[in-house]
Chain A
């Protein structure tokens, strides 16, 4: 089916099977491969993107169902060379190792801070419950998000 997706501010007219998941449309049709797939059950959050500013797990959303809405992936987060505070926080606090969960984790954190700009460490831990990481033990991810919140004051 033909549909129109707006991703990172650019409109794309694509032709995909009706059953195509948003994550596959992003990765396979549009070659936006930052967004990753880590599970089959909407558990890990590696595929998290923003749809109209809210975080969704793109492995559980049909591409067709977000036609006409605005999708943001990590590739679209920085404004030119200026990083989003969350990107900077992850860099400054070593909030990533292998980098696989990172795009989803970063987008979930962006969404978390939009809802709660001054979270406590506990808020961050519970707010990111749907995003799994095997490398960091979350210690530095929590620090990264708190650092981003601090920088955004």
Chain B
């Protein structure tokens, strides 16, 4: 029986449940003996000229060194974090003369221990001469206040797809609305942390909490002008990333420079406050949706205008609109599309990738637009969706946005989720409550989504399969799991194809000296690229072993078969002739065994899809919404390990729900952050969320041998609009058309008041 598709418990867990993971701050590596602790001194103003006096800090006991921007004037600035971003917009090593957001690093202090660092940070004197502040992206777009005079404008990127003019000509009904996809914080439970040490061979060993060890190594080597092989990057256990740790930051990079100057290893761990001020945030789009069609419910045209807030130093956030544009029409057959986007700098923390990265924003926009249109023509929102879904016989297809959808069964997904939720009964209950004047109103929200994973370009990934002379197997992968369970999933793939027990397979990742190359983990790429590479490498290993076994048997390779049940090779018709994997591997190389390196090249990105139904109760007297049920279909192709896939869905759904109901990073008009710790930032606990009902559906992708698509971000993408639509739906009978996210009690209460006045 195949192990694929079965509920294998994670091999990772025994460590995490006994001695705990080893995260960057837990490292007790001898190379870090005597390490200095780094503390960054950060700006308390959003936009100001500064003068820095660090002398008093230098004189404190326990202080090894204090660095300011002048100390790095001899270095070229760090490279831009992304392609397409002008070098003039890149972060400096430390800011000189001007600060551009609260939390921007101004000085770095190296101390003997972490408490001394906090003391010394208090002693750095900074004079601030305030400059005009721009927080609202609409104001930033006018360039009245320009953050980076050398760039000349706040606009980091802008592009257009299709023609807005005349797009809605001939539509009987056109609905237009501005929608805020608010700024949220990724909040991995482990904050940023890193350590480094230079060896006697001038080689740098660098540990950091990241999703992408090879990318981080290349970035560090590039910034320090080192050959890549002079940097050994090791990813320890990583306590969550959610896109925000896809790269390493300038704070990480600086450790290597300071280690060189001070002549000691360095280590750094930020506080949660620093994390919320400085790591970066997600989403942050102001959208204008316009949707047009016929009165009987056929959508004919759609436009999406996006004003993307990039924060002070444009990073991944600047390119989020590319993904939003690509997924703009979602699951619908909409012939005419126009997208116009602009990414602008503001005096706020940089915007990064956050679970979904540009795709949840696209889905939120179109799914809210569908509900607005349905309300306008007085049609059930599920029915409007059914009338406009792309039918399965159209696949594969290219959308007006230029996305090449591989496979999809959207109507089936919608039908499955409506049926599992008992949609008709829910509507009946809603009517009953409305008619009886129940003060707990029921709201039902629907979303249907499609997203792009392992894209936008066709991806590739590396794997090495090493059968050891004792018959055990070591798989090396270029992906970099941080909770996704690759050590279990990838072991299952190798075990299946090689015919060895899964317990005999171990997976190595995250060390650039051990793994030749890799793209890390992000964009839901890992199973479809990394898993496919392990699959391909395993098959190639079988072929190579078959040839070796044939020589051992003195038989033709064509007569040699892999006997998975026995874990070795035999000759057709002579089952007594048998060589185990251990024997074949020892024959290949008595010391190292049999090694196969391979790269899997995908034919294209894949497009997972699904449908969510959210059920909320809204207290009409207080406005408080409460999610009471959430039912989802998340179809990412065949499921390799249901345990892990369900976990990915649960976590994604929770984050999506939480954006709709709770979370928002807030700045006041002067750029002062209002949500700088987990007491102020509305991070949900178990008490705010229900269990989630998962409905299974699996439509294979034709683009990889496993037929799989990415599941990491699906839940997040589907959940947010379903919940927002549910909250609006709960009070729609009172005349409410739209409520911005997060749909807090206050916002709901105000919406009810305004609609009734």
Q: Hey, which bits of chain A sit against chain B, CB under 8 A?
A: 17, 19-20, 24, 27-28, 31, 33-41, 43-44, 46, 74-75, 77-78, 83, 87, 90-92, 94, 96-103, 106, 121, 124-126, 128-142
Contacts and interface: CB of A to CB of B under 8 A. Distances in A.
B595 interface: no
Contacts of A133: 189, 686
B647 A135 contact: yes
A33 B272 contact: no
Nearest to B275: A39
Interface in B214-259: 237-240, 242
Interface string B453-490: 00000000000000000000000000000111100000
B732 interface: no
B19 A34 contact: yes
A97 B483 contact: yes
B84 to A, nearest CB: 29
User: What are the 9 A-B residue pairs with the smallest beta carbon separation, nearest first?
Assistant: A34-B20, A137-B654, A100-B239, A98-B483, A97-B483, A99-B16, A43-B678, A33-B26, A137-B650
A17 B240 CA distance: 32
24 contacts: A33-B22, A36-B190, A39-B677, A44-B272, A44-B683, A75-B18, A83-B18, A87-B18, A92-B9, A94-B9, A94-B646, A97-B647, A98-B189, A98-B238, A99-B12, A99-B13, A129-B687, A131-B686, A136-B651, A137-B654, A138-B689, A139-B650, A139-B689, A140-B646
Contacts of B691: 121, 139, 142
A7 to B, nearest CB: 14
Given A91-B13, A94-B10, A39 B692 contact: no
B142 interface: no
Interface string B4-22: 0000011011101111111
A98 B238 CA distance: 7
A83 B28 CA distance: 26
Given A33-B22, A36-B239, A99-B16, A131 B647 contact: no
B674 interface: no
A41 B20 contact: no
Contact of A129 (B16, B28, B655, B685): B685
A35 B22 CA distance: 11
Nearest to B653: A137
B685 A87 contact: no
Interface residues of B, number: 57
B188 A106 contact: no
Contact of B237 (A17, A99, A139): A99
A39 B26 CA distance: 16
A121 B237 CA distance: 30
B643 interface: yes
Contacts of A96: 13, 16-17
A138 to B, nearest CB: 4
Given A17-B115, A137-B689, A138-B654, A99 B483 contact: yes
Given A38-B191, A78-B18, A135 B483 contact: yes
Interface in B668-710: 677-679, 683, 685-687, 689, 691-692
B685 A134 contact: no
Contact of A38 (B9, B272, B484, B655): B272
A97 B484 contact: yes
B128 interface: no
Given A38-B189, A98-B483, 11 more contacts: A17-B115, A36-B20, A40-B272, A44-B678, A77-B18, A102-B16, A102-B21, A135-B189, A136-B650, A137-B652, A139-B692
Nearest to B648: A97
Contact of B679 (A19, A41, A126, A135): A41
A99 B481 CA distance: 12
